[in-house]
A and B are shown apart, each in its own frame.
Chain A
Amino acid sequence: MSDTAVIHEHGHVPQPVQHGKPGGILRHTSIVTGLVSGVVLAVIAYLVGGMLMPQGTLDADGIQVGINAQIAATYIAWVVGFMAGIGAFAGPIRWAMGHDLTHDDAEYMAGKGQGKWRYWKYTTDHKVVGFQYLVISMVLLGLGGFLAMLVRTELGATWTEVFDPNFYNSIIGTHGIVMIIAMIIVVTGPLGNFVVPIMIGARDMAFPRLNALSFWLLFAAVPPLVTNLMLGGMRDGWTVYQPLGAQAPVGMIGYQITIITFAFSTGIASVNLITTIVTMRARGMTWNRVPIFVIGIIASSIMGLVWFPMFQYSQVFALSDRVIATSFYIPQMGGSVWLYENLFWLLGHPEVYVIVVPGTAALMELMVVFLRKPLFSYKVAVAGFAGIVGISSVVWVHHMYMTGWAPAAGYPFMLSTELISIPFGFLVMVMLGTIWRGKVWTRLPMMAVFAVLWNKVIGGITGVYLSDVPVDQYMHGSMFVVAHFHFMLMGAGLFAAMGAISYWFPKMTGRMLDERIGSIGFWTAFAGFQLTFGSMFVAGLQGMPRRVLQFDDAFNVSNWLSTIGAYTIGIGMLVFLYAIVTSWRSSVLAAANPWGAKTLEWQTETPVPLENFPVLPVVTSDPYGYGVPDPYDEIEEQLTDEDATVGAR
């Protein structure tokens, strides 16, 4: 037997005692038991909280004493109840009791023999989790997009107030945080989970149960976020600066619970992805043979893992200020607004790269396939990601230039912010170098590369303005900032995600994404995007502050254009969604490797079997062995042979 075959020898491994049927209690749990248990526990918490509350006692602000604690308890009970109901605690309890999983248990939990129902259970198979993430990120994007349409409706109707200020401010905040969450997961969730383990030649993630845990925590985090709109809303923008957030109605608690839960979800997912990539690569996949997408995912995971707890604790303190009347952010009682801003932005900025890096890496991965060329300078790409991971942790104060916190900090943080453009430039160079002299196969995933590079150029240059303290003195808090970060997060993030999803669509679903309809949707959205945020730059230059619902007539024209553009994006996205849904339901099956790609996930069959590979692969080179020798080099050699100094050609 050669050393290429790594076979799982389950039959020979002594198994622990099988308690009951494989799967144990998880045979009986699913999203249904989760929802029931979550709702029941939430209702109990709400009722008990109501009974404990001193009814009719109002505090200084005229708010019922104890209502914050009641609502917080309700939300926490929902999250805990849901997780318990779906079976998330079964694993730790079994472990503590010493009832270890048998191989049959593990296979049941990975969804063996459960058909479509496995998508609704606490399923550990990374491919199932990938699908679950794909669907939830599309749902969140749809919700965030719908709220964006409402925002643009208000701003386009310059002659009237469409919504009352409370609702308007709540939809800006909810749009912001829904989109941030959706963008954090949209590549790393579906593709990081589905594709990465196959790409590195593993059978599953390192911690399959944590994988299910991270998804269902995310799922549990969504209802508190959505229901905030019914409890008075989180009307303070996605940043929820304190102490403004302390004034908001109890809907704010929904936001805080969501962030705290989502931070656990992201942390767990990051631990899982990093461990998988570090320890479970196929034989022969040395670090210089790892596909660049995997490098991007690990870079993004490191930033999320290290910095998310800062955001989490910022919200823990805010919730504590509300519920047990501590004063972390209440200045009268010794709290500081700058504490909140620092904790918030310590994650807040790395999070931008958490969003942009995986999409960029995915485009690098797919462009080589459509250009039939090796990736240009793999090492510079890796250095670019490493540089971004390093520098991103020391740039957060550029969000705080105008807060008055340590004005002298403007100098070092302007330096670090402008330095990060260098590793970011590496990534652009790698993409341009790969495009250089390549014959383009003009399929949708490849065209996304062009769209994203265009957006990155615009977003990058406008970012350079904003990194500069004097310019920020004019731009901070204006529509210019809004347009800039949409160019980065949506222009470079979402459009990259659309390209990446259409690239891996045939592997995930077994069907090709409809090229024609998908392209129509993509380019409609792209055109609308340019109009929306191009004219928003103008509004910002003219001096329009962000997060306002009424403004000077001087800004009317650019806002009308933005609104027209936004509706165009909406139409484009609906068309793209239509392409996804119809292609998914189509009966025409895709080949296992329709793009002719060389990475491992395309070498296994479609649909991918339960443990991904019948025999684990062994890697002997990097996956970029495309291309023919450079014809110019041959000409040069001939010339050299004759007489190099002649010079005429």
Chain B
Amino acid sequence: MSTVDDRPVAEADEPEEPTNRPEASYRLREWLSRPYVRHILIIAAVITLLVVPAAWLVIFFMNMTGAPASSIMSEIEKTMFVFTIVSAPLMAITLAILAYSLLGWGRVSGDEPPMQESPAIRSNPIAITLWIGTTSVLAAFLVVWGVTELATITAYSYGSTPANQQPNATKRIDINVTGQQWLWTFAYPDQNDITAPVLVVPIDTPLYFNVTSLDVVHNFWVVELGIKIDANPGAITNTGVTPNKLGTFNIRCAELCGLHHAYMQTQINVVTQEEFDSWVREMGGSKTV
């Protein structure tokens, strides 16, 4: 960013400042009293009010095929919500200027270049500073929010409490996930190495996934639980989650993996601890630790 910050923007090509300019507060009031400024601010406010409900709409769409079933997914939805709200004013001011320029400052049509020229505004240090300041603050906010959220969901992935990074449960279930064209296999090394084509897990227990692939790159995506990691041949990747809702959720492959990529999906059944224990016994594994 040094290319920008080193450059005093106020040095743009502009005539020398008149020495007898009125004071800043007066100029600001004068500027705000201009009709087009008022109109644009009003339009922008209206657009903001129209756009803000989109934040709920986004969440509504995300929940259409199933509400969040883990804290990770809840955090993701929270981030979507906040980002939508934060972007609304910037979107609104841009669209308001566009709309007003078509409606308010007049327009001409015809084949000949218009005779009437517009005001020769080459620069406006205050506007530039404001814009750069605002977008920088917004970007900084996004970075801070993103870094915090990433730390939070990473903590959740590893079954710890975000605040103190301490494991919040004494037991955790390791699951080895193997992708191959075009199916998933789940192995439970601590449960006598039972394997299953469908993931069955107990609620409120940290799950820890080791993921690999036997052929090409797949992507292990547990949709409603909000976790996603590539299954790479020749490497082991890790992720984790603690499901907090009973039910059946989708597992999809999210990386093109060949002809039947579309059909490479299965389910995760989140069940109670008792049901899980009996499922493990049924599958021939020992009782959970």
Contact = CB atoms under 8 A, between A and B. Distances in A.
Touching chains A and B, CB distance < 8 Å: yes
A373 B120 contact: yes
Given A404-B229, A439-B108, A439-B114, A545 B253 contact: yes
A402 B234 contact: no
29 contacts: A241-B216, A244-B258, A373-B119, A374-B122, A376-B121, A377-B123, A379-B9, A383-B7, A387-B3, A404-B229, A414-B146, A425-B131, A437-B36, A457-B95, A461-B83, A470-B75, A470-B149, A470-B150, A470-B152, A477-B228, A543-B65, A543-B252, A546-B254, A630-B120, A630-B121, A640-B21, A640-B22, A645-B26, A647-B26
Interface string A237-269: 100010110010000000000000000000000
Contacts of B288: none
A647 B22 CA distance: 9
Contact of B254 (A237, A426, A477): A477
Contact of B142 (A241, A247, A418, A596): A418
Nearest to B154: A407
A467 interface: yes
B20 interface: yes
B216 A404 contact: no
A595 B120 CA distance: 18
Interface string B221-251: 1010011111011110110000000000010
A320 interface: no
A491 B216 CA distance: 33
Interface string A158-182: 0000000110010000000000000
Tell which of B33, B72, B94, B146 has the most Cβ of chain A within 10 Å.
B146
A380 B219 CA distance: 41
A48 B263 CA distance: 42
B13 interface: yes
Interface in B1-49: 1, 3-4, 7, 9, 11-13, 18, 20-23, 26-27, 29-30, 33-34, 36
Given A545-B221, A545-B253, A552-B65, A243 B216 contact: yes
Contact of A450 (B7, B58, B98): B98
A28 B145 CA distance: 66
Interface in B123-182: 123-124, 127-128, 131-132, 135-136, 139, 142-143, 145-147, 149-150, 152-154
A454 B211 CA distance: 41
Contacts of A473: 72, 76, 153, 226-228
Contacts of B263: 550
Contact of A372 (B30, B91, B116): B116
Contact of A627 (B83, B119, B216): B119
Given A404-B235, A426-B132, A432 B97 contact: yes
Contacts of B73: 474
A558 B174 CA distance: 38
Interface residues of B, number: 108
A422 B135 contact: yes
B233 A404 contact: no
A636 B27 CA distance: 9
A441 B146 contact: no
A637 B19 CA distance: 11
A463 B246 CA distance: 33
A425 B122 CA distance: 18
Interface string B80-92: 1001100100110
A478 B153 contact: no
Interface in A182-239: 235-237
A547 B61 CA distance: 20
A169 B252 CA distance: 18
B120 to A, nearest CB: 3
Contacts of A564: none
A101 B5 CA distance: 49
Interface stretch (B99-107, B185-193, B199-207, B275-283): B99-107
Interface of A: 165-166, 169, 235-237, 241, 243-244, 247, 288, 331-332, 335-338, 369, 371-380, 383, 386-387, 390-391, 402-404, 407, 410-411, 414-415, 418-419, 421-423, 425-426, 428-429, 432-433, 435-443, 450, 453-454, 457, 461, 464-465, 467-471, 473-474, 476-478, 512, 538, 541-543, 545-552, 554, 594-596, 624, 626-632, 636-637, 639-640, 644-645, 647, 649
Tell which of A337, A426, A470 has the most Cβ of chain B within 10 Å.
A470
A465 B235 contact: no
B217 interface: yes
Contacts of A629: 119-120
Nearest to B87: A461
A464 B87 contact: yes
Contacts of A244: 216-217, 256-258
Nearest to A468: B146
B122 A376 contact: yes
Contacts of B237: 403-404
Contact of A644 (B22, B108, B238): B22
B147 to A, nearest CB: 6
Interface string B55-75: 000100110110000001101
Contacts of A467: 142, 146
Contacts of A637: 18
Interface of B: 1, 3-4, 7, 9, 11-13, 18, 20-23, 26-27, 29-30, 33-34, 36, 58, 61-62, 64-65, 72-73, 75-76, 79-80, 83-84, 87, 90-91, 94-95, 97-98, 101-102, 105-111, 113-114, 116-124, 127-128, 131-132, 135-136, 139, 142-143, 145-147, 149-150, 152-154, 211, 215-217, 219, 221, 223, 226-230, 232-235, 237-238, 250, 252-263
B125 to A, nearest CB: 9
A548 B262 contact: yes
B238 A541 contact: no
Contacts of B30: 636, 647, 649
Given A432-B97, A438-B119, A439-B118, 15 more contacts: A165-B260, A241-B256, A337-B232, A373-B120, A402-B219, A403-B237, A414-B147, A422-B4, A423-B3, A425-B131, A440-B102, A450-B98, A465-B83, A542-B65, A594-B111
Given A450-B102, A645-B26, A387 B1 contact: yes
A624 B120 CA distance: 9
A442 B261 contact: no
Given A331-B233, A337-B217, A371-B118, A543 B223 contact: yes
A631 B119 contact: yes
B20 A640 contact: yes
Contacts of B102: 440, 442, 450
B143 A418 contact: yes
Contact of B121 (A441, A471, A627): A627
A442 B230 contact: no
A402 B135 contact: no
Nearest to B237: A404
B87 to A, nearest CB: 4
A383 B23 contact: no
A371 B145 CA distance: 40
Contacts of A411: 147, 150
| Chain A to chain B: the 10 pairs with minimum beta-carbon distance, closest first | A331-B234, A627-B120, A404-B237, A596-B113, A477-B254, A548-B262, A541-B61, A644-B22, A244-B216, A165-B259
A595 B73 CA distance: 54
Given A552-B65, A636-B30, A380 B9 contact: yes
A410 B107 contact: no
A275 B135 CA distance: 34
B230 A402 contact: yes
